[in-house]
Amino acid sequence: MSSAKSHETIQSVLSENRVFDPTADFVARARLDAAKLDALHAAAAKDPVGFWADLAKKELAWQTPFTEALDESNAPNYRWFADGKTNVSVNCLDRHLATRGDKIAIRFEGEKGDTRHYTYKQLYAEVCKLANGLKSLGIRAGDRVVIYMPMVPEAVIAMQACARIGAVHSVVFGGFSATSLKDRIEDAGARLVITADGGHRGGNIVELKKAVDDALAAGAKTIEKVVMLKRTGHEVPFIEGRDLWWHELMAQQADRCDPAWVEAEHPLFLLYTSGSTGKPKGIQHSSAGYLLGATLTCQWVFDLRDDDVFWCTADVGWITGHSYVAYGPLSNGATILMYEGAPTVPDAGRFWKLCQDHGVTIFYTAPTAIRALMKLGDSFPAQYDLSKLRLLGSVGEPINPEAWMWYHRVIGKEKLPIVDTWWQTETGSIMIAPVPGAVPTKPGSCTKPLPGIFADVVDESGEPVKEANAGGYLVIRKPWPSMLRTIWGDNERYIKTYWAQFGNKYYVAGDSAHRDADGYFWIMGRVDDVLNVSGHRLGTMEVESALVAHPRVAEAAVVGRPHEVKGEAVFAFVICKGARPTGAEAEQLAKELRDHVAKQIGAIAKPDDIRFADNLPKTRSGKIMRRLLRSIARGEAITQDTSTLENPAIVDQLAGKA
């Protein structure tokens, strides 16, 4: 099963047998100990739907209670709590005002060291003002609003303001290019963009407004207005009649706004993610089910309590930033930290200084960041007081045991639990992860599914893989509330991508995994043509389409290769129109193509390696032998049978030997 790319990971994790129990201190204060967790699992096993229904009643504030928990009549388009009405922003803000009004909701620090904060009362007022502002611009429930912003509190305010009036937001990561932005606006049919004059990163200004202008000049005709936050203060074009300043819009608005009571299934947001075709898909999430997942996992996995300062380093442009910056922690009335900037400015101690200065107690980041900071040495974390930290988390890609151990030893001082959390844009919230006061951890394993999540590993025919350490497809057997509802505008693709493989019986995650003898899950990686570069999903076909859009490129094939820090790196084989470039010309063109991909998609998609060849390795039926390209990219000996190739002689050239 699966690709050769999993092989190394399998080797490294098979030899991994260290087990770390939660400390007695942690267990003593934990929300869930082993007995409580067992009780939740037992309740979910006995009555899976009733289990979620009880939690939905207890954890969420409803304007109209639901009477039916799960509607399966149109499966796999499941509906949860469908006749109930609620509002996500009321759950995140209003319900805390009486008890936590003066508590800090958001602490913020910019790269240059500027800080500010919002109490729950202040956040509520800002969200209401913007919600009124959006209404004054004609935005109504169901309208799509694209948010293209830096990691500042206003990004969360924008998301919450949309939720308040029932508008559907689609946040586009600020690192995506104007072209990507335009494609997403067009697919979503958005009426409004909320952006900023720019953002700060690595000492530079990210030209967000310029990208918006370029996107709107190239298309995206559904956009009527652009609301622009003044963040950097540098000069940017302002188009009269279309553009508005955030502060001017806000200045005229009342700081109260009645929420739109929406049905539980009302879409809260679309978030575009890469799949195995060239076109990113708009993952559609619901209001109530989504919020329930985000809320509960904060309690179960992060053990979130009132006195915590929770820092999830993810940008709000990704699902992690939705569920664990903008929604889950606020729904729990927690204090979060947001940081706008690079982890290495002014040096590799920045994250640890932020933890110290803001009294961070729970820290959640990605393996790529851990590996990058690990490489820069132990001396940086050693300079800061990390004694407030009590829990560490990891997300986005498999964490290699070496990085896990560094995190454990140097940041966790060998005491703190590490929660390695497996989930996806599509799952909405964490699915497989240790409950830190109850489940012993093993470096590199996300351990066991959470209560109510029926994960399994199955073979090609859909049968559970019973043998320990044997790989298979990761699937989820039963629907869960925070699951995606569909792909925006393409329900057929939703069914085909996630359900059809095993006859619509269960959700197919697109990852391969195995279980060890203790039933712990080990995620091996994607089984489709999706790469995971620095924890970001990237479709190989997306990069290929970007490359062939360049006038010099006739054909391109993109594969991943292992990368020490990024996890995976992009390796592109490129066939040019005309003669194959060599020497200085090849170098020049490779640079041009990298910049071209950055312009088409975003800097994260830039190929690390570009190799020019006369042809791609194709079978006689014209199929590109991708496995062969993967072996070449990894510098492995070629073991595949190349005799079926139409052009076997090309292999040496692709391998850079001719």
- The whole-angstrom separation of Cα 534 and Cα 604 is 8
- When binding is defined by CB under 6 A, the residue of 6, 368, 429, 532 that contacts ligand WTA is 532
Q: Between 231 and 322, whose beta carbon lies closer to ligand WTA?
A: 322
- Site for ligand WTA contains 144 (CB under 6 A): no
Query: 164 or 281: whose CB is closer to ligand WTA?
Result: 281
Residue with smaller CB distance to ligand WTA, 220 or 533: 533
Binder of ligand WTA out of 40, 227, 410, 446 (CB under 6 A): 446
Residue 368 makes CB contacts below 8 A (sequence gap 6+) with 396, 397, 534, 535, 565, 566, 567
Span interacting with ligand WTA, options 113-121, 206-214, 483-491, 507-515, rule CB under 6 A: 507-515
The minimum distance between CB 642 and ligand WTA, in angstroms, equals 30
Bond preceding residue 367 cis, omega within 30 of 0: no
Rounded CA separation 444/194 (Å): 39
Among 9, 424, 486, 497, indicate the residue that binds ligand WTA (CB under 6 A): 424
Q: Which of 6, 297, 368, 425 binds ligand WTA (CB under 6 A)?
A: 425
| 134 membership: H or E segment, kind and range | helix 120-136
Residues 306-325 that bind ligand WTA (CB under 6 A): 318-320
With CB atoms as reference, the residue minimizing the distance to ligand WTA is 425
Q: Is 501 in the site for ligand WTA (CB under 6 A)?
A: no
Q: Long-range pairs for 54-60 at CB < 8 Å and ≥24 separation?
A: 55/292, 55/296, 56/80, 56/81, 56/84, 56/288, 56/289, 56/292, 56/481, 59/292, 59/295, 59/296, 60/86, 60/91, 60/288, 60/291, 60/292, 60/295
Q: What's the rounded Cα separation, in Å, for the pair 528 and 277?
A: 10
442 binds ligand WTA (CB under 6 A): no
User: Rounded CA gap, 524 and 471, in Å?
Assistant: 8
User: Residue from 164, 184, 537, 550 that binds ligand WTA (CB under 6 A)?
Assistant: 537
DSSP per-residue letters across 232-260: S-------TTTEEEHHHHHHTS-S--PPP
Residue 422 touching ligand WTA (CB under 6 A) = yes
Contact between 482 and ligand WTA by CB under 6 A: the answer reads no
Q: Does residue 85 belong to the site contacting ligand WTA (CB under 6 A)? A: no
Distance CA 312, CA 304 (A): 12
Q: Rule CB under 6 A: which of 171-210 touch ligand WTA?
A: none
Among 332, 335, 421, 497, binds ligand WTA (CB under 6 A): 421
Measured from the CB of residue 523, what is the shortest distance to ligand WTA in angstroms? Answer: 4
Q: Indicate the residue among 123 and 531 with the shorter CB distance to ligand WTA.
A: 531
Dump the DSSP string for 552-572.
TEEEEEEEEEEETTTEEEEEE
Q: How many helices (H) and strands (E) does the chain have?
A: 23, 30
DSSP string, 192-235: EEEEES-EEETTEEE-HHHHHHHHHHHS-TT--EEEEE-SS---
Would you count residue 444 as binding ligand WTA (CB under 6 A)?
no
Using CB under 6 A as the binding rule, whether residue 523 contacts ligand WTA is answered as yes
Min dist. Cβ of residue 232 to ligand WTA (A): 28
Residue 333 is assigned to a ligand binding site? no
For ligand WTA, the closer CB: 19 or 218: 19
285 binds ligand WTA (CB under 6 A): no
- Among the listed ranges 96-104, 137-145, 376-384, 422-430, the one in contact with ligand WTA (CB under 6 A) is 422-430
Q: For residue 497, say whether it is annotated as part of any ligand binding site.
A: no
Region from 43-51, 79-87, 416-424, 491-499 binding ligand WTA, contact rule CB under 6 A? 416-424
Shortest Cβ 420–ligand WTA spacing (Å): 5
Residue closest to 385 by CA, chosen among 413, 366, 347: 413
Distance between CA atoms of 319 and 325, rounded to whole angstroms? 9
Q: Is 424 annotated as a binding residue?
A: yes
Dmax of the chain from CA atoms?
74
| 390 three-class SS | coil
The end-to-end CA distance of the chain, in Å, is: 33
Q: Is residue 77 marked as binding?
A: no
| Count of residues of this chain found to bind ligand WTA when the rule CB under 6 A is applied | 22
Burial letters 221-259, b for 16+ CB under 10 A, else e: eebebbbbbebbeeebeeeeeebbebeebbeebeeebeb
Identity of the residue, 160 or 424, whose beta carbon is nearer to ligand WTA in the bound complex: 424
Q: Compute CA distances 237 → 206, 212, 414, 537, whole Å.
A: 15, 11, 52, 32
Amino acid at 323: S
Q: Which C-beta is closer to ligand WTA: that of 273 or that of 441?
A: 273
**Between residues 361 and 394, which has the closer beta carbon with respect to ligand WTA?**
394
Amino acid at 573: F
386-405 residues in contact with ligand WTA (CB under 6 A) are 395-398
Cis amide prior to 346 (ω within 30 degrees): yes
Q: Does residue 398 have a known ligand-binding role?
A: yes
Cβ nearer to ligand WTA, comparing 109 with 511:
511
- What is the footprint of ligand WTA within residues 565-624 (CB under 6 A)? none
Per CB under 6 A, the list member of 225, 526, 561, 596 interacting with ligand WTA is: 526
- H or E stretch including 184? helix 178-188
174, 411, 233: which is closest to 311 by C-alpha? Answer: 411
Closest separation in Å from C-beta 285 to ligand WTA: 12
Q: Is 529 a residue that touches ligand WTA (CB under 6 A)?
A: no
Asked whether residue 425 is marked as a ligand-binding residue, the answer is yes
Binding site listing for CoA = 201-204, 320, 534
- Residues marked as binding? 201-204, 320, 396-398, 420-425, 511, 526, 534, 537, 548, 550, 553
Residues contributing to the annotated binding site for Mg(2+): 548, 550, 553
Write out the residues near ligand WTA by the rule CB under 6 A: 273, 318-320, 395-398, 420-425, 446, 509-511, 523, 526, 532, 537
Binding-site entries for ATP? 396-398, 420-425, 511, 526, 537
